[in-house]
């Protein structure tokens, strides 16, 4: 299942320009989407759109539907294999059974989606620490003013590598802590007994984890380059991919707005921010 939610056009904040219209007794989808993560690998694509009356809908479209043209043109400097480019929908026929009214109010959908991104960040952190550890273990070059003849025996290098692994442990624990209230809310929802308090607790747990994990992972990856000299930035090692990938993931749902929303809730009791839509302010 791929997604086609975001747009780069001039639609107002909270709106999309993709339209689902009825013509000649058929439902037709028209519009252009970007950041369509996973779409090239998907069997189905979930598309956000509006009806002619302005109603928000979610539409399921087969990835190979006539009129759905995908372009592998994602130009971000990280997450290069995620297929996050453009899809153009031109008079794509839609089965009425594959149309659902857009959600409103409290929902677990954003928290579940964000948890996937956070899991990827934690995995990147783990991979970066493993690569840097291997680099230090095999490295023979050192410096005249180093604390040991070999980097693997240098207590300063050992301290830095130890900090990377400690950060991994911390962000994994943070991720797991966010899973617990989300799982409780999902279970209660399936039983038809979920409360607003449980939904708020799940959304806030994932939002708080987002702020902490993004900051800690990016900081740890940046520090990891201090274990070596110029050779650590060699293209053959490609260690920059960890920072580029983590940095790209971390800007999905900007951290500063997550932190602000948490602060507003803590200070003023304002409801958590469940959904957000980029757009243009006229």
Q: What pLDDT score was predicted for residue 10? A: 64
Distance CA 165, CA 99 (A): 46
DSSP state of 162: H
Q: H or E stretch including 125?
A: helix 109-138
Looking at the DSSP bridge assignments, the partners of residue 79 are none
Domains and CATH numbers, the chain: 2-101 (2.40.110.10), 109-268 (1.20.140.10)
Q: What pLDDT score was predicted for residue 282? A: 60
Q: What pLDDT score was predicted for residue 278? A: 72
Distance CA 215, CA 251 (A): 11
Distance CA 206, CA 110 (A): 9
Q: What pLDDT score was predicted for residue 275? A: 78
pTM of the model: 0.90
Contacts of 86 (CB under 8 A, 6+ apart): 32, 33, 34, 36, 70, 71, 73
Where b means 16+ CB within 10 Å and e means fewer, 99-108 reads: beeeeeebeb
Q: Flag residues of the chain having pLDDT under 50.
A: none
Q: What pLDDT score was predicted for residue 281? A: 67
Distance CA 15, CA 49 (A): 9
pLDDT digits (tens, 9 = 90+) for 29-83: 999 999 998 899 999 999 999 999 989 999 999 999 999 999 999 999 999 998 8
């Amino acid at each position: 299942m791929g997604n086609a939610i975001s747009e780069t056009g001039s639609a107002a904040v909270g709106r999309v320009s993709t339209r689902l219209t009825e013509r000649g007794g058929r439902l037709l989808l028209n519009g252009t989407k970007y950041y369509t993560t996973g779409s090239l690998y998907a069997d189905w694509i979930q598309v956000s759109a509006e009806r002619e009356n302005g109603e928000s809908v979610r539409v399921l479209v087969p990835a190979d539907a006539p009129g759905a043209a995908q372009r592998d043109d994602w130009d971000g400097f990280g997450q290069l294999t995620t297929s996050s480019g453009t899809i153009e929908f031109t008079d794509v026929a839609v089965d009425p059974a594959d149309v659902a009214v857009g959600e409103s109010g409290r929902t677990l959908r954003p928290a579940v989606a964000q948890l996937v991104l956070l899991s990827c960040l934690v995995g990147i952190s783990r991979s970066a620490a493993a690569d840097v550890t291997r680099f230090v273990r095999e490295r023979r070059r050192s410096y005249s003013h180093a604390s040991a003849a070999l980097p693997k025996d240098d207590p300063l290098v050992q301290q830095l590598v130890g900090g990377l692994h400690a950060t991994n442990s911390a962000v994994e624990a943070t991720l797991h802590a966010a899973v617990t209230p989300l799982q409780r809310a999902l279970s209660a929802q399936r039983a038809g007994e979920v409360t607003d308090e449980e939904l708020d607790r799940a959304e806030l747990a994932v939002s708080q984890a987002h702020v902490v994990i993004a900051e800690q992972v990016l900081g740890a990856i940046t520090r990891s380059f201090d274990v070596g000299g110029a050779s650590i930035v060699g293209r053959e090692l490609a260690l920059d991919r960890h920072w580029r990938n983590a940095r790209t993931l971390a800007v999905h749902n900007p951290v500063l707005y997550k932190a602000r929303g948490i602060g507003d809730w803590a200070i003023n009791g304002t409801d958590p921010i469940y959904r957000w839509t980029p757009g243009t302010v006229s």
